[in-house]
Every structure is written in structure tokens, then in C-alpha cells.
Structure 1
Amino acid sequence: MNAYQWPAGVQPPMAEKAPKEFIAHGDKRIDDYYWLNQREDPKVLDYLKAENTYLDAMMGGTKELREKLFNEMKGRIKEKDESLPYKDNGYWYYARFEEGKQYPMYCRKKETLEAPEEIMLDQNKLAEGFPYYSIGGRAVSDNNELLAYTVDSVGRRIYGLRIKNLVTGITYPENITNVDGGYIVWAADNKTIFYVKKDVTTLLGYQVWRHELGTDPSKDVMVFEEKDNRFYIGAYRTKSKKYMVIWSSMNQVSTEYRLLEANNPTGSFKVFEPRKENFQYSIEHFNDKFYIRTDLMAPNFRLMETPETKTGVANWKEVIPHRKDVYISNLLVFNNHLVLGEVKDALNQLRVINLTSHQDYYITFPEAVYAAFPNINPDYNTNMLRLSYTSMTTPVSIYDFNMDTQQRELKKQTEVLGGFNKEEYTAERLWATVRDGVKVPISLVYKKGIKKDGSNPLLLYAYGSYGSSMSPSFNSNIISLLNRGFIYAIAHVRGGQEMGRPWYDQGHLFNKKNTFFDFIDCGEFLIKEKYTVKEHLYANGGSAGGLLMGAIVNYRPDLWHGVVADVPFVDVITTMSDPSIPLTTGEYKEWGNPAVEKEYFYMKSYSPYDNVEKKAYPNMLVTTGLHDSQVQYFEPAKWVAKLRELKTDNNKLFFKTNMEAGHGGSSGRFDYLKEVAWRYAFFLALEDKTE
């Protein structure tokens, strides 16, 4: 195999410097590249395009490899496919893809799967003429005649709300703008809909409005406004259909719920239990009571219940007590069963409780390292649980599980084409003892037959923020690396909740550096155990995981041969100091508030942008989207510019901007694979692999 030949003499763009001074708590920072935050400035756009041109020139020789990778990954996808239908209120709902099409068609059939198909939305037709097109939420009225749905045609996650008559096929003229895409709630009268309004500057949902079908949206009525900009909000209908719910949540710190009976849409929402700092709860309605999942004197959460007429905390009674080694992650209610999602030793478990006999059991699974979650379960009056099961070698498998007999039936397993055979691969779970003595789980997958002699390229991935746990699930794209000798590993670092709520508490605010050191120590562990060596060790993370990438290249630049930071949050202090930047205020409890001196200096001590130094850095590829709503494009742009100025090595530094997308990249099911192909080609070129 021929080694990849990097072109010689191609010069990277160098951003000009325009120093801007920031002073806080007597501390002065100089930001030479602050000017890059002017999205509409032609000079900024020219710089981003120049970086793309430089990347194209330097990696032009990987074009055939990228095409091959793209075709491999696309070739594993069954192009003509449909989701497993689920029944809700007399209709079977599903989405299906046609061969060669980028987007799904959302369909339904009445009562039986043999009934004629009704196409509710054909996203392919709707997306014609748009380089980006995303359908957010969809909700059908109680009489099954009206479909409300949201659309984003930019990638900024600011949606428009439309309503379609499923009987006549006509889309109503009202177009409600600037809404949150995920929260649409029909009242029981089949004409009233509730939605969440977004602030177009901060992109925070901050108001809930009521709209009546056929009326001018300018006459809509605001029913709730969140006054505290540290809280996110949303709305939904309970599974029992009796209540409409508005929730407010300060990330992993505080929650509050409001209720209104769905048959009384013009009534007033009533608070379930008032918010308090360091007090979280979530609710599920059941007959004449509510079940409550709460961290009240229970860091890993416990289960309570209360009469629906007496929702205050004084009336709550314990159903499942708190356990130090088990985190209750979610709750599902049926007419005779409760299903609890629990996490223990970085594995998801499903616990079924019979509400008549009060007996319980855990659903068993065949593999040692796996992920199992409830699937779509809208039916309240059933003893069948639909669940999803996957592992790093098993594609997503959907089962119908009889909660009385414990019999299960495989209804659908994602087909992986292209000759995939799961028996050719092995998954493992390792435990790395990190610098403070804590054991961090690592999930790995690789092709059978590799030798643990340190010669293998290894890609280590992590996220480690917001309490989000990274499940050891199947990813068909990774096969392209595994088949070329790579090991793929997930480090379940602190900042997630793989080991319960304390795992998160030990990885945010003043404990954030544990996330970075856990990842570094997992890399060292994999070298020590001869899975790889420094010269073949690669790292990848995105968004908050991109912050992780920024930190590890500052702390241990020598440990990694190559790093890909996708849409990375790297300018922590500047962003968190500006409440007008989208999502900032809602993140104070995750990262800190720079207005507080102690929090400011802790964040500054690890902020990747603020800690770039004159030293050697590893080979790096950094990506962003011009319309990114979560991490603004200018954070990675500034970071790359500063790295270019200060780094003392001859390693590669590339910056790729998708000029037509946002945080999630391209919207089509195939287009995003081109971005994955860039990432993989970067790793393979560094490995001198050209095929």
C-alpha cells in the first residue's frame, strides 16, 4: 500500500489579528481573533472559504478514498426501508425511505397494516430547492384529522409551525414562525394547539403560546413565560391523554411542571410542585395518581407517587427507594405495569414491575456489553413493551416483549448490507484506573484476529458532559475503520451518568477537569495494555466533546497522533460571558458563570482557546457549520487561527466549514456520510493508508 503523499508548498491561510481587550475580576484577556464572529462580513466568509480551499488542496489526494468510504457506508444502508409501525389511537404510523431518496415519507394506515397507505408528509418533495431541510416535531389531533409539524430550512434550529388537514390534504395558511421544533401539543378539542416560542437571539425557548386553528397567529395567546433564562422549557401531553404539561428545567439542577386538563384548553396551567435549587422531578400520570421520579434526598433518584388532586411534595409517598449503585434514568407507565430504566456499572437495564402483584424482574440480554431502551410505546392499555436492543456488534433490534409471560419477539433488526457479519468482530469492556484511583469503563470493538502488540491504530471517542451517557451501541460507519485495522473505543468518562448521578457531579463545574484527565488516562491505559501506541492513537469528540478534544491537546499534545474536533465548544470564557450567545445562560450550572470570580478563573484554567501556547500540537481536523445554533462557528474558527499562529510543529491543521448546515451537519441521510468520510480519510491518511 502506498503512503499518502501530502502536497508540499501549500500555505495555510493566516487570519489577521485585531486585538480586543476583555477585563473581568482584574484579569485581562486579549482576543486577537474576535472579529471572526461577524457572520455576514464578507471578510469572515472569505477566510472560512480559504480554510476550506486549503483543506481541499492538502487532502485532494484522498478524493478516491473518500468516495470509496462514502460508497461503503452508503452501501451498508438499506435504501428502500421503513421503520417498524406502531399503533396509536387507531392508526399504524411509520416512516419509509425510497431508493435513492435522502429523506423519509411519513405515513399511516387505519386500524390494520393491510389498509391503504396515507402519506402524511413526503419530506423529499417538501425539501426540493433547499440545501438543508429538517422536519422537527409531528403531532396528530385526537380525531386523527389534523397534523401539526415543524420545519427548519436553514439548520439554525428555528422552526416554522404548519398544520395540514389529513382528510383534504390541504395545508392551512397560518405559518407560525420562530418556534421550538420539538414541542407541539394538541388539546382534546381538535382545534387548539400549544407551542413553544424561541428567542431568535439566544435561541432559548422562553414562552408557551396557544393557537386556535383557522385564526391569525398574531391573535395567539401566551399562556406561560419563563422569566429565568437559566431554564429550558418544553411541553407535552401525558400518555394517558388527560393532561397537557409545561416543564421548565435548569440542567441537572432544578425542574418544575405545570398541568392543564386537555379538555379545558383555555384554562390556566397549575404548578405541580414549585421549583427549588438542587431539586429535580419528572412525572407520569396513572389513573388517579402521578408517579414521580425525583432526586429529593436521592442523588441517583427514587420513585414516588401522589394523588392527582394533591400534587405537593408533602403528599409524595415512596415506591422505589434510592440506591447508591443504581441510577433510575427513566420511567414508563402502562395500565398494569411500570417499566424503569436503570443504569448500573455503565449498562442500561430494564426493570418491569407488575402493579397488581407488585412482583418485579429485570429483562435479560445475551451480551455482556450492550444498550437497551424503551422504544415507541404510545399504547397505555397493553402488556406489550416495545424495546430496542443493540451492542457494538449487534445492529439495532426492536422487540415486542410480553411483560406477563416474559416472551419476546424480534420485530425488526436494522439490515446492514455490504457483507457485514457480526461474527467477524469482538466487543470488550475494560476498566481503566485513572489518576485519582477511580475506575473508568471503556467499551471497545475490533475485528477478530488483531494482535494486542501495540501496532493497531485506535480511535478513542468520548463526550462527557450534561450527564449524557454514551451507550455501547452499533454504528455501521465504524466498520470502514475496523476493516482497515482500527480499534474503536468509547471512554465513559465522568461528566456523563454511566455510573450514576455522582459520575456527572464529578465531571462538571469545579470538577470538569476530571473529564479531561479521565480521557487522557484511558488513552494511557490502552497504550499500557498494548492495544495501541502514541503513534497510532487518535481522538474524536463533538460539541461539548469538542471541548474535551481542545483540552486534551493542550494538556497532552504528545499523546495523540491525530485529533478530530467536531463543532467544538472551545472559547468557554468569552461565550459564557455573553448572555446573548445562544444557550449561554442555560449552561451556567454545567460550566459556571464568569460573573462569579471563582468560576471565571476555574473555567479560564482549562478553556482551550485561552490556553493555546507556543508548543507542538498533534495533527488536527476541526469542523463546524456556518449556521450552528449550539456552538457558534466562530469558536472553532478563532481557535484554529490561534493554533496556526502559535503551534511550533509541522503537523497538519485543517478547518472545515459546512457553509449550508448547522450543529448536526447535513440533513440528508446520505449527505452526512460525506462528512464522516472526510473524518475517516484524515485518520487513514495519517496512517499512510490510501485505500
Structure 2
Amino acid sequence: MKTFKKLFLTNYLILLPIFCYSQEKQINQLIYPNINGEIKHEIKFGVKVTDDFYNLNDIENEKIKEWFKLQDSLAEAYFDTIESMQKYLERFKQLQNITQSKVSMITVNETGNYFYLKKDDSLGMEKLFYKQKLDAEEKELFDPNHYAIGDKEISYLKPSFDGKKIAIGFNENNDFSSKIKIYDLEAGKFLNDEITNINPDFGGIEWLPDNSGFIYLYFPEVDTSKPDFKKKSFSVLHKIGEDSINVTPIFGSDTNLEISADFYPKVKIGSSKDKFIIGYVASSDDYYDSFIAEMSDVINGKPDWKPFFKKDDKIYYDQGELRGEEFIFRQGKLKGNSLAKINISRPDFNNPIILVEGTKDDPITNFGLTRDHIFFTRSLYGANVSLFKISSGNQLTQFDLPFTPGYISFFGESLSHNNIGVGLDGWTSNYTRYIIDKKDNVQKEKLSNESEYHDFANVISEQVMVTSHDGIKVPMSLVYKKGIKKNSDNEVFIFVYGAYGESLSPFFSPIFLDWAAQGGILAFPHVRGGGEKGKEWHEQGMKNLKYNSWKDLIACTEALIDMNLTKEGLISLYTNSAGGVTAAMAVNERPDLYSSFIAEVPRLNPFGLESSNTASSTSYLEYGTVKDSAEYVGLIKMDPYLNIKPNTNYPATLIMPSYNDDRIPLWDNGKYIAKLQKYNTANTAILMDIDYDSGHETFGDYNETIRLYSKIFSFAKSNMKN
């Protein structure tokens, strides 16, 4: 996993002349490789901002590169000395042995064909399998071991509507761009079509209703070092058999549409029955502007895009589906949200036909369409999900589910039939797939054998409400072993996020549950900035109101102590990505509360995002922009790097960035670590463990994942202060 492992031990003396080590500090026998910071002052709107390590932005500088290598090698050497690291490796390998035989990436097209991956233990890789129907015989489609070196690990699947072809994605070097090949099931081979300059995380393959080709989001520049990286993207039409080098722009390249270079113009095709196609101007917001065109014109390569709904109409970007002449959608409301519909020929989004209303505490979170029915979910405080159906006669039915899930997803739905499947997940209930039959019975899909985790049989969950700094009630999920002694000796592992309107929905993770099975407590604060209570919950934790996110987290942490469940010194805090702002600011404000702070690919310097040459993002929609005087001040107040205080006792800190991260550049985390190592006065480890292979949302194989989480939990465990 690490390209530069143990360089600290071999190169430290050689590199002494390069760096200034006059400020070296020995903490826990760790010698931090320091570098002189170059200070940059900025005054805007009458406010002065000081960047102590501005020079770390130049990550291509050889001196800076070596400093990062030394930081990474120091972290690797640190984990070689932690006794609990080996214990977690062994324990998590045992859990892996229970789960690794399961199938993954199950994809069901509207014809009812099943495509999925299954690991071959003898080869150490996954093969692609196919079933014509759920109860049909299994057939092996693709064995990566028989193909060219490099095309080994499948990262994406998207079958055509008729099931005769399937797009298979590979990301062999964890680059931003994937490679998509088209496999012809009837011919039993790959076609010559090969798609590049695509990233499925930003929009994958959208097959045309007639299966003659597909549309995908094309990135003209995929080199992360170039100024136009990820910018000026547009959707293109590819017909099977045509030269993929000569792309045909279909949406977003028309200057008349006035789409920002930082936005992502992509389309969505939900069914082979679709007569229209909707183009979305995608960003990091919940709501998009959109356009609509006739499908026949798009297939002919000559679409006439007309404005459809606007951002101000508050239509959730991933929650709109076409059915005949109707458009059914989820719409944000002041006091919750609603499921509604309009007629495409007379679209009035201000006065739609309301099908069902959601509330702040119990909003509608998802829906799926079949030929005659609408299935939808509601989520009480982001943790208890219920499932409903609206029949063709507007009759409402609630389903009796096998357990109360924390998350429900739909699969296999189509306008050509009334079949639908649901995936149920929860804190203590393993993800299980079910089929809903014609009589509304919920039956297990049984595509794979279910893993049994006897060690988690007595692990339970509950949800408590915590009063935050301003009197607002914040939900917090707790997971622990039944019968645990509720006293201050319990070790707590907190996972928080709180951004982009994304709910921290319950998920079943044996690796996380192991903490509870061993006697600890897992805590999941559903802070503002997430989507647990709808759009308003998100808005109360973004831009100039971002402080609510970390103050909610602090309130939840204090509540754990007040409930006599734990005490200061026994609370580890973990987050990832945009959750870095929430978690790190809580640490800045109350460093005494936490024994350790662990963050994976975190955002720690949002203020510096727009000024960076590598920035290609719409994150300013979430955090604010330096171009607005009020948001400029808000960015300063929420920036963890800028708000590190000198001469302060900070908890043990482990920051885990990725070198190939296309969203959060390495300097973001590097500057935070450099400043924290300089200002921290406590006898605690401050480490940066860099993944030189993966990106922001790409991960290694099973063994690398096990090692990653062994580091996270061993760091949390070893820094508890009993």
C-alpha cells in the first residue's frame, strides 16, 4: 500500500541538510521531520489571514515531496511499534474470512438479468457472473486472469436494458479516469469499444432505450496537475461500434446553456420506456438546474434542450423519474419535503400534484418507480426507516419489514414491470436484499449465503436526543453490548460527518461492531450539515452556519460524559472527507474532550480551496466563497488549519490523506499537520499516514482495507487514557 514505507529510517540522516530541524520536538520518542514554513498574509474585506505554511502548496517541489515522504515513513514506523496493531490485524482478518465469500456489485437490469462479482480465493480476484433470472443457472462471464495485465480489478458494472451487453469498468492505477469496455454476451467477447476520460463517481454509463449506445460524462482533462483538470466537462453520445476517440457532444458543450466550467452536465435515463431525457447541471448542491429533450432527437445526435426545472424549484437532483407523460420527483419544503408529480407538457413546479408529504423529523428519503406503483421510504431522525407503496389507485400501504432498517435502497425497478427489490441495512443488522412479490410479501433474494456473526448477537443500538448549544435537539445513535455497565470507564469511538446534506445512515460493519463486541461504545452524532432532518438540517450546518455542526458534536460528546457513559480521555473521534471540518473544529474548540482524533482524506483547509491552482470543485457551494464578504469570514471561522492555537494540548492525531485525491489536495492535510506538530504542547503523537496509491473514493484490496482500519482502531485504542 505504501510506496515510501520506512524511508524515515533510511534517509533521515541523508536529508538533514535539506530541511531545517532546529525546531525538532521529541514526543513519545517521535522526531518530527520539520520544514521551515513560508508565511503568506492576505487582507480582504478588511480581514487579515495568515497562512503559516503556504509553501506546502507546492507539492511538486522536491523538498516538499521529501518532507511528505518522511512524515509518511514516521507514521509507518509508529504503527510497527503498537502492540494492539497486530491484534487488530489478526481479528479483522478473521472477520474478513467470514465475509469474503459473499458476492458483490450486484446489478439487476430491467429485464431481470443478474450481473455480479464473486471472489475466487484461488486466484485472489473477483470474476464476473451472470444469471438470466434469479432462479436460473449461474454462468461465468469474465475471468480477469485470462486477460491483459492491468485489467484485473473490476470497478464498475452497467448492463444494457436488454441485457445483451454490459459496460465493465477498470481503474488499474487508481487514476481519476477509468477505462470502460463493452462485453457482448451473445458473442461472448469484448467489443472494440473502449471508453476513457470517464469517472463513474461523477456519472457512469447511461444506456439508450434502444440499447444502440450510451451517454456518459466526458472529462477533456484528466491530468490532476493541469489547471483545467475536471473542468469543462460535457456529456457525449457513443454508438456501439463507433470510434470512441471522436466523441459526439450531446449536453453541456452548447454555450447557449451557460453552464459553469466547474459544473458537471450529465443526463439520466431510467428506463427503456423513456421518451424524454433530462440533463442535469450537477454540482455539490442538493438542487440543480435541468433541461429536457426528446429521446429520439438525442439518439439522432441532434437534441433540442429546453429549460425544465430550476434550482429554486428545490427538486432533489437524484430523486426525479419519468413515467410516460409524467415526471415524479421529491421536492424540498420549508417544513420537510414531498413526493409530487407534474405533466411534462404543462410543467408547473410551483403547484405540482402532491402524492405524499414528509416532515422535518420523518422526511421522505428515497423512492422507486415500477409500471403501476411508487415505492418510497421515510427516515425518522435518520436512523429508523419505513417503507411504503402508492398503488395506481393512490392507495397507501406500509410494509411490515423483517427488521427496522436504518437504510433502504431499491434495485431492479423498471417501468416495464411491477417487480422491485429492496436492500435493508442497520447498525446491528447485516445488509440483506429482499424481493417484494405481487402480494406485497417481502422475501429474501438469497443470491448469496448470509454470513453469521455470533460475536455480535448481543450488540444492540439505541437513539438518544441531545440538546445542543442553541436548544436544538440533535439525534445520536449509540451501539454497544447488551448489559454493558453504564459508567465512566467505557471507551467510546465517535464517527461523525455532517456535510453536503448526506445523512450518516446506519450501516452494518463487522469492523466497527468489533469495538462494541469488545466492550466499547460506538457513537454516531447526526449533526447539522447532514440530511437527517431534511434540507433545513443541512442548511443549518453549511456556510456561515457551519459552526452548528461542530457545536452539535461537542454537545453530543459532553452528553456521553453527562450520561455517565464515559469520561474525558476515553473518547476517540473519527471522520472522513468533508467531515474533517466538523471534527477538527470540535477538536480545536475542545481539545480536552478527545483522547485521539483520526481523519481519513479530510478537508482541513477549506479557506485555501479557491486560491489553489489545483482547485476544480463546486465545494464553495457548501462552505462559502472568498468572493463574498460574509462567507469569507465564515470560511476563516470554520477552517481547522487556520484555527489551530499555539501552546495548546491537542489529542493524539492521525491524518490519512491520499496522494491521488482529486478532491482534497495533499497540501490541505500537510499544512494542518505541520502547524499542529509545531503548536501542540501535549505528549501526544501527531502523524500523517499517506496512501500513495488510492484516490479520494478508491480503495485497495481486502488486505489493504484491513490494514487501514487496523491502524485507525489501534491508534484509537492505544491512546486511551485510563
TM-score (norm 1): 0.90
Contact 2:30 2:685 in 1 (8 A): no
Contact 1:388 1:399 in 2 (8 A): yes
1:534 alignment counterpart: 568
1:343 alignment counterpart: 379
> 2:472 & 2:399 partners in 1: Cα distance?
29
> 1:416 & 1:538 partners in 2: Cα distance?
32
Report the secondary structure of 1:104's partner residue: strand
State the shift of 1:229 in Å.
Answer: 4.0
2:365 alignment counterpart: 329
| Alpha-carbon spacing, 1:634–1:76, altered in 2? closer, same or farther (3 Å) | farther
State the shift of 1:351 in Å.
Answer: 4.2
Higher relative contact order (CA 8 A, sep 6+): 1
1:373 alignment counterpart: 408
1:363 matched to 2:408? The reply is no
State the shift of 1:118 in Å.
Answer: 4.0
Instruction: Show CA shifts across 1:355-410 (max 9, x none).
Output: 33321122234656x314133123434444311222221111222223x6332212
| Alpha-carbon spacing, 1:218–1:360, altered in 2? closer, same or farther (3 Å) | same
Q: 1:654 aligns with which of 678, 687, 693?
A: 687
1:67 matched to 2:89? The reply is yes
2:126 alignment counterpart: 104
State the shift of 1:685 in Å.
Answer: 1.5
| Alpha-carbon spacing, 1:364–1:507, altered in 2? closer, same or farther (3 Å) | farther
Compare 236-245 and 616-625 and name the one that shifted more: 236-245
Contact 1:81 1:98 in 2 (8 A): no
Report the secondary structure of 2:579's partner residue: helix
1:192 alignment counterpart: 213
- 1:106-255 map, 5 Å: 106-111=128-133, 113-115=135-137, 117-119=139-141, 121-122=142-143, 128-129=149-150, 135-136=155-156, 138-181=157-200, 182-198=203-219, 199-200=221-222, 201-204=228-231, 206-225=233-252, 227-229=259-261, 231-242=263-274, 243-250=276-283, 251-255=285-289
State the shift of 1:272 in Å.
Answer: 5.6
State the shift of 1:574 in Å.
Answer: 0.8
Q: Which 5+ residue runs of structure 1 have no aligned equivalent?
A: 1-5
Contact 1:103 1:668 in 2 (8 A): no
Report the secondary structure of 2:259's partner residue: coil
1:599 matched to 2:636? The reply is no
> 2:360 & 2:105 partners in 1: Cα distance?
38
> 1:602 & 1:28 partners in 2: Cα distance?
13
1:55 matched to 2:89? The reply is no
> 2:125 & 2:59 partners in 1: Cα distance?
29
1:510 alignment counterpart: 544
2:521 alignment counterpart: 487
1:462 matched to 2:490? The reply is no
| Alpha-carbon spacing, 1:434–1:625, altered in 2? closer, same or farther (3 Å) | same
1:293 matched to 2:330? The reply is yes
2:98 alignment counterpart: 76
State the shift of 1:216 in Å.
Answer: 2.8
| Alpha-carbon spacing, 1:391–1:218, altered in 2? closer, same or farther (3 Å) | closer
> 1:373 & 1:661 partners in 2: Cα distance?
29
> 2:667 & 2:590 partners in 1: Cα distance?
24
Contact 1:395 1:415 in 2 (8 A): no
Give the counterpart letter for 1:192 in structure 2.
G
Contact 2:208 2:214 in 1 (8 A): yes
| Alpha-carbon spacing, 1:613–1:82, altered in 2? closer, same or farther (3 Å) | closer
> 1:459 & 1:447 partners in 2: Cα distance?
14
> 1:67 & 1:148 partners in 2: Cα distance?
36
| Alpha-carbon spacing, 1:366–1:80, altered in 2? closer, same or farther (3 Å) | closer
Contact 2:467 2:473 in 1 (8 A): yes
1:17 matched to 2:37? The reply is yes
Give the counterpart letter for 2:567 in structure 1.
V
Report the secondary structure of 2:604's partner residue: coil
> 1:293 & 1:383 partners in 2: Cα distance?
21
Contact 2:390 2:397 in 1 (8 A): no
Contact 2:423 2:433 in 1 (8 A): yes
State the shift of 1:280 in Å.
Answer: 2.6
| Alpha-carbon spacing, 1:565–1:572, altered in 2? closer, same or farther (3 Å) | same
State the shift of 1:85 in Å.
Answer: 7.2
Contact 1:80 1:98 in 2 (8 A): no
Report the secondary structure of 1:625's partner residue: coil
Instruction: Show CA shifts across 1:146-203 (max 9, x none).
Output: 3333333333432233333333344344443322323212224443321111243442
Report the secondary structure of 1:666's partner residue: coil
Instruction: Show CA shifts across 1:332-370 (max 9, x none).
Output: 1112211122233334534433433321122234656x3
> 1:145 & 1:519 partners in 2: Cα distance?
50
1:554 alignment counterpart: 588
Give the counterpart letter for 1:273 in structure 2.
F
1:522 alignment counterpart: 556
1:680 alignment counterpart: 713
| Alpha-carbon spacing, 1:582–1:551, altered in 2? closer, same or farther (3 Å) | same
Report the secondary structure of 1:441's partner residue: strand
> 1:415 & 1:489 partners in 2: Cα distance?
30
> 1:124 & 1:512 partners in 2: Cα distance?
49
State the shift of 1:605 in Å.
Answer: 1.3
2:14 alignment counterpart: none
State the shift of 1:80 in Å.
Answer: 5.5
| Alpha-carbon spacing, 1:84–1:144, altered in 2? closer, same or farther (3 Å) | closer
State the shift of 1:480 in Å.
Answer: 2.8
1:587 alignment counterpart: 619
> 2:250 & 2:640 partners in 1: Cα distance?
42
Instruction: Show CA shifts across 1:31-62 (max 9, x none).
Output: 33233333443323322221122123333223
> 1:326 & 1:419 partners in 2: Cα distance?
31
Query: Identity, % of aligned pairs?
Result: 22
Give the counterpart letter for 2:39 in structure 1.
P
Give the counterpart letter for 1:168 in structure 2.
A
Contact 2:76 2:689 in 1 (8 A): no
State the shift of 1:129 in Å.
Answer: 4.9
State the shift of 1:278 in Å.
Answer: 6.1
> 2:360 & 2:102 partners in 1: Cα distance?
46
> 1:356 & 1:417 partners in 2: Cα distance?
38
Report the secondary structure of 2:389's partner residue: strand
State the shift of 1:312 in Å.
Answer: 5.0
Report the secondary structure of 2:31's partner residue: coil
2:697 alignment counterpart: 664
Compare 277-286 and 522-531 and name the one that shifted more: 277-286
> 1:302 & 1:361 partners in 2: Cα distance?
17
State the shift of 1:625 in Å.
Answer: 0.8
Report the secondary structure of 1:375's partner residue: strand
Root-mean-square deviation (Å): 3.0
| Alpha-carbon spacing, 1:84–1:183, altered in 2? closer, same or farther (3 Å) | closer
Q: Which 5+ residue runs of structure 2 have no aligned equivalent?
A: 1-25, 223-227, 253-257
2:512 alignment counterpart: 478
Contact 2:605 2:641 in 1 (8 A): yes
Give the counterpart letter for 1:303 in structure 2.
L
TM-score (norm 2): 0.86
State the shift of 1:673 in Å.
Answer: 1.7
State the shift of 1:94 in Å.
Answer: 2.6
Contact 1:133 1:667 in 2 (8 A): no
Instruction: Show CA shifts across 1:224-281 (max 9, x none).
Output: 2262245343322123532443222340243314343268502315336142446335
